């Protein structure tokens, strides 16, 4: 089949029987729910952009598995050029949505599972790679959106999965049958799960032999029996129910996360990618984390572009754009944002071919990229709030602005420069609020800290990949030290 249009994607989601809960109630129609719809629009944008000739080089590519043009979000990286285009595509999507567009995690899962299943088959004589290739072709032919689920609730972090008081705190196999397996557990913080057709499940940490029932990876439809999703709250989320374009800041696009429960979900044999081969759990985690840490050098940079632009507009509307300290802060925001992009491009350009044939980023540079992402967006947001001013969080509502009695006073006293309407000034301030404090901050600021692993997770990988013995040898050679 040809690439889906954005509208076709929306209608395909409408056909799913998803079990979605929010505010204690089942959501019968997630597609049109006013709180959830902006997140669906963000995914829809990845289809719309793929259908736009201006962006087709970044958004699409030819699949060697189907021979057809596919969305890059379903692609297996065949070169360092593919890795670079991935980051550029993510920056573009961030620029167009100013939100989390939710498909990166599935793309990163594809590429991690691709190489890991190949090596697992080599070691154990399994057929996981064949299973995955069949699934990949299905996804590409149908142009589906796939979520990637790695993060378990974890319970007591000092205990291994098998040692938890509640065995379900890590997703695990509870029954092995001739035709497949049954799994139980949960995956937390699942970005875009309610806007996905399928989900790839992966283990969350390296494991030992006692944890082999937890060393499991597979793919199932998101409306499979036993899967239900509990939507996570976001700051200012109920503003979307008020019908105000201004007050939500970004009325068209958004992100979402959910706690996803797997309550005795059946997985057929041909959808299994790992099943007890515990020594490959850590390999899969490390590779997925590397790809996903690379992703942040694109998506967060694109959203940062919007925030920098909004801050510059706010400075103009305040009449402060010529102040030297404002200019300097905008320069600093740009410097930090482009530094993130440099890391994303660098780890891509330094990528290497795996045994399976797809390309892996440079793991050290990918972890450096994500380490910077845990810091720089916070400073970019701080500077944006500094330049925007306190009105960003104390402005009256759109209903007050439109009120016959109050509107005139608001227009009079909250105007900045004379030739800019008060309404436009409030619109740009609300966008900055949305990006730094509101619902979009979940996908920009807070996710910058915890997405793809905590800061300490990257520091562990930096220590592992940093090759300190080689650097010590270099120093001893220069110093002419003989031991």
- Give me the catalytic one of 292, 311, 347, 422: 292
Catalytic residue flag (residue 191):
yes
Q: How many other C-beta atoms are found inside a 10 Å radius of the C-beta of residue 304?
A: 30
Cα–Cα distances (Å) from 215 to 200, 278, 477, in that order, read 14, 5, 44
Segment holding 105, helix H or strand E:
helix 104-124
- Give me the catalytic one of 100, 343, 347, 369: 100
Cα–Cα distances (Å) from 268 to 32, 261, 272, 429, in that order, read 32, 18, 7, 51
Handedness of CA 327, 330, 335, 338 (dihedral sign): negative
- Give me the catalytic one of 93, 299, 343, 369: 299
- Give me the catalytic one of 61, 80, 93, 104: 104
Catalytic residue flag (residue 122):
no
| Torsion (CA) 351, 352, 358, 361 in degrees, nearest 10 | -30
Q: From the centroid of its chain, how far is CA 94?
A: 11
CA atoms of 88 and 344, how far apart (whole Å):
9
Catalytic residue flag (residue 369):
no
Comparing CA positions, the residue from 192, 219, 221 lying closest to residue 15 is 221
Tokens 């793919």 sit at which residue? 219
Catalytic residue flag (residue 93):
no
Catalytic residue flag (residue 447):
yes
- Give me the catalytic one of 191, 204, 311, 422: 191
Segment holding 220, helix H or strand E:
strand 216-221
Catalytic residue flag (residue 100):
yes
Catalytic residue flag (residue 236):
no
Q: How many other C-beta atoms are found inside a 10 Å radius of the C-beta of residue 289?
A: 22
- Give me the catalytic one of 9, 114, 296, 444: 296
Which tokens go with 424?
């436009």
Catalytic residue flag (residue 299):
yes
- Give me the catalytic one of 257, 277, 286, 398: 257
**Across the strands, what pairs with 15?**
none
Phi, psi of 185 (to 5 degrees): 150, -155
Segment holding 460, helix H or strand E:
helix 455-465
By annotation, the residues acting in catalysis are 100, 104, 191, 257, 292, 296, 299, 447
């Amino acid at each position: 089949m040809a690439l889906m249009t954005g509208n076709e994607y929306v209608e395909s989601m409408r056909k799913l029987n998803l079990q979605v809960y929010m505010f204690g109630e089942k959501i019968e129609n997630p597609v049109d729910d006013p709180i959830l719809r902006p997140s669906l629009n963000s995914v829809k944008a990845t289809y719309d952009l793929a259908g736009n000739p201006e962006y087709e080089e970044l958004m699409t590519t030819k699949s060697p598995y189907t021979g057809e043009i596919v969305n890059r979000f379903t692609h297996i990286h065949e070169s360092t050029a593919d890795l670079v285009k991935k980051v550029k595509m993510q920056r573009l999507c961030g620029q167009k949505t100013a939100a989390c567009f939710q498909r990166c995690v599935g793309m990163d899962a594809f590429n991690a599972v691709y190489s890991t299943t190949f090596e697992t088959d080599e070691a154990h004589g399994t057929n996981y790679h064949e299973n995955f290739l069949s699934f990949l072709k299905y996804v590409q032919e149908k142009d589906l959106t796939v979520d990637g689920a790695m993060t378990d609730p974890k319970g007591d972090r000092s205990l291994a999965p098998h040692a938890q008081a509640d065995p379900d705190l890590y997703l695990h196999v509870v029954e092995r049958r001739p035709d497949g397996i049954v799994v139980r557990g949960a995956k937390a913080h699942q970005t875009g799960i309610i806007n996905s057709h399928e989900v790839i499940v992966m283990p969350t940490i390296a494991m030992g032999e006692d944890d082999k029932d937890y060393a499991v990876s597979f793919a199932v439809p998101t409306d499979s029996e036993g899967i239900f999703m509990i939507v996570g709250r976001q700051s200012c989320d109920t503003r979307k129910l008020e019908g105000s374009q201004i007050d939500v800041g970004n009325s068209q696009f958004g992100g979402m996360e959910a706690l996803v429960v797997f309550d005795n979900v059946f997985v057929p044999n041909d959808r299994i990618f790992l099943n007890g081969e515990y020594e490959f759990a850590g390999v899969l985690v490390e590779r997925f984390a590397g790809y996903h840490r690379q992703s942040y050098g694109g998506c967060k940079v694109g959203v940062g572009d919007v925030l920098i632009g909004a801050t510059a507009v706010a400075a103009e509307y305040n009449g402060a754009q010529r102040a030297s300290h404002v200019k300097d802060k905008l320069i600093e925001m740009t410097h930090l944002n482009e530094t993130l992009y440099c890391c994303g491009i660098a780890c891509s350009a330094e990528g290497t071919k795996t045994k399976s044939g797809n390309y892996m980023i440079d793991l050290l540079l990918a972890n450096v990229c994500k380490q910077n992402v845990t810091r720089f967006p916070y400073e970019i947001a701080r500077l944006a709030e500094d330049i925007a001013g306190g009105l960003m969080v104390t402005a009256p509502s759109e209903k007050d602005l439109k009120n016959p009695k109050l509107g005139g006073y608001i227009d009079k006293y909250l105007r900045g420069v004379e030739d800019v309407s008060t309404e436009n000034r409030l619109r740009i301030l609300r966008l900055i609020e949305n990006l730094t404090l509101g619902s979009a901050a979940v996908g920009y600021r807070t996710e910058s800290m915890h997405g793809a692993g905590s800061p300490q997770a990257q520091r562990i990988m930096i220590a592992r990949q940093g090759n300190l013995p080689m650097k010590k040898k270099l120093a001893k050679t220069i110093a002419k030290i003989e031991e």
